[in-house]
Every structure is written in structure tokens, then in C-alpha cells.
Amino acid sequence: MEQITDIKKLEQIASQVRRDIVRMVHGCQSGHPGGSLGCTDYIVALYFNAMKRKEGFDMDGIDEDLFFLSNGHISPVFYSVLAHAGYFDKAELATFRKLESRLQGHPTTHEHLPGVRIASGSLGQGMSVAIGAALAKKLNGDKSLVYALFGDGELQEGQIWEAAMFAPHNRVDNLICAVDYNGQQIDGPTSQVLSLGNLKAKFAAFDWTVLECEGNDMGLIVEKLAEAKELTGQGKPIVILLKTGMGHGVDYMMGSHKWHGAAPNDAQLATALAQLEETLGDY
């Protein structure tokens, strides 16, 4: 698939994705808008600029980059990006969290939705899966890469750190992980629920290559992903700490854990849509 290098075009896609997110969550009065809005720029940059993708979709993923969403509750942004990337018709976004829909609150594989490779949302598991996929590529002589995204609150799960120890020991250097480092989780700030401490120092101590990036600046994200790709193949896994803002793009949601899993009412939806430019047409 052709990569988009025009930052303005990527920002336009991100604006439309944000409109999709608030409309999807409002439409079923359920879902997770805060983290979805915060991660929009990164996932748009990933799918439309950084990743090597093929036409069509198959579960083998040979000779193409793979992405695993570990914090599956931010499914609205994932589904919207997949739709705009051509995996399925964007009209299907209107079925989000509805009965019989393929777009469930957490991504599932039994629905056979193109683009979804694992059922996710049971937090802490995505890094293990991504490492397994990366090792499989190495065994198959496949030079493409594996990407994965995690919430910062998710790093409170012990399985993450078991996997984080395993990857450098086994030289899983075709893996680029990212952490949505917004400092918020469902019950409050991470600093109050369970402090993460110095994440940069922790990952470095586990022998990862650690990069940091402003997670809501499209140009910087594109540059950082390019840097990460250049660092693959050097014996270490890579992690990007994305300094994002919960609810980015919608002023009354920004920075508040209260929008981790809450739906806007009619008036709040109208306010949000007024702040987000319609660039590609609403579904």
C-alpha cells in the first residue's frame, strides 16, 4: 500500500477518525473515547505512513508489517483507522457495539473482521503475542516488522514485564512497541492508582532501546517511527513512550480520566464535532 508522507493529509485523516470516535461512542452510549482520541495520531501515522501493508487481509501476514492492539478497549480508534485504510466499508462503523455487529467493544477474532489479528482487551497480553509474531517472522526469514500498542495503566500487569525481560534476551529486534503515556486510567491518574515510576529507566534497565515522543504531534510521530525503524535489527526491541493527552482534540475531555469509558450526550457530541473538522466525510 502507498505510504502517505504529507503531514497535512495525515492530520486530516486523524481529524476524521476523531469525529468517527465520538460519533461511534455516542451512537451506542458505550465505549472508550478518551484513550482513543489520545492515540489517534499515532495509529494514523502507523497505518498510513510507517507500516508496510499489502492489499487484502490474511491472518498469516507474511511479508507485511503487523500491528497488535493490546489495550483493546480503545477499539473505536482501531476500527475507524482500519475502515479508512480500506479493510472494510466505513459505513459499518455505525454498528459499533450493536447486537450482531463485528465491531464489538473489544476486538475479537471470531467475528472475522479484516485487520484484527487477536482478541484483545484482557490487559497485559499483547506484548507476549507481539513477541511471538516477531519470532515467527525471524524463523520464516520474513524481514517485515511487528508493532504493538499498550496503555500506561496496562503496564501495571505483571505479564508485561515478563515479556519485556524475554524480548531482549532473545534479541527480538524486529519489534517496535509503543506506550500511550497519558498518565490516566479508569480509576484516576496512574500516579495515584499505582505509580509507574521512571518508565524510560525501567525499559532501559530491561535492555530495550527507548525513544520518547510527543504523541499528539503528527510530524514528530512520523519522524520518531522512522527513527525506530532505523534502529531495528540491532539486537534490541524498541519502545516508544508517547506523551499523549487523554481525550485530545475535544476540550472538555482532555486530560481527565473521567472520559476513559464514558459516552457523550447529544449536547456534548455537538460540542465535540464542532471542534473536529470533517475532512473525509462522516460515515
Nearest to 121 by CA among 105, 138, 99, 137: 105
Query: Per the structure block, which three cell numbers stand in for 166?
Result: 524475554
The pLDDT of residue 121 is 84
The pLDDT of residue 237 is 98
Question: Does residue 2 sit within a domain?
Answer: no
The pLDDT of residue 1 is 80
- In contact, 222 and 10? CB cutoff 8 Å: yes
Question: Does residue 261 sit within a domain?
Answer: yes
Question: Does residue 1 sit within a domain?
Answer: no
The CA distance from 17 to 38, in Å, is 11
Question: Does residue 280 sit within a domain?
Answer: no
Question: Does residue 49 sit within a domain?
Answer: yes
Total structural domains within the chain: 1
- The residue range of the domain holding 179 is 7-275
Question: Does residue 46 sit within a domain?
Answer: yes
169 contacts: CB under 8 Å, gap ≥ 6: none
CA dihedral 117, 147, 79, 110 (to 10 degrees): 10
Question: Does residue 104 sit within a domain?
Answer: yes
126: CATH: 3.40.50.970
**pTM of the prediction?**
0.97
Backbone angles phi, psi at 198, to 5 degrees: -95, 95
Query: Which DSSP letter does residue 64 get?
Result: S
Nearest to 40 by CA among 244, 183, 265: 244
Q: What is the pLDDT along the chain (283 residues), one digit of tens a residue?
A: 889 999 999 999 999 999 999 999 999 999 999 999 999 999 999 999 999 999 999 999 999 999 999 999 999 999 999 999 999 999 999 999 999 999 999 999 999 999 999 999 899 999 999 999 999 999 999 999 999 999 999 999 999 999 999 999 999 999 999 999 999 999 999 999 999 999 999 999 999 999 999 999 999 999 999 999 999 999 999 999 999 999 999 999 999 999 999 999 999 999 999 999 999 999 9
Question: Does residue 92 sit within a domain?
Answer: yes
At which residue does the C-alpha cell 499489502 appear?
54
Q: Cα 254 to chain center, whole Å? A: 18
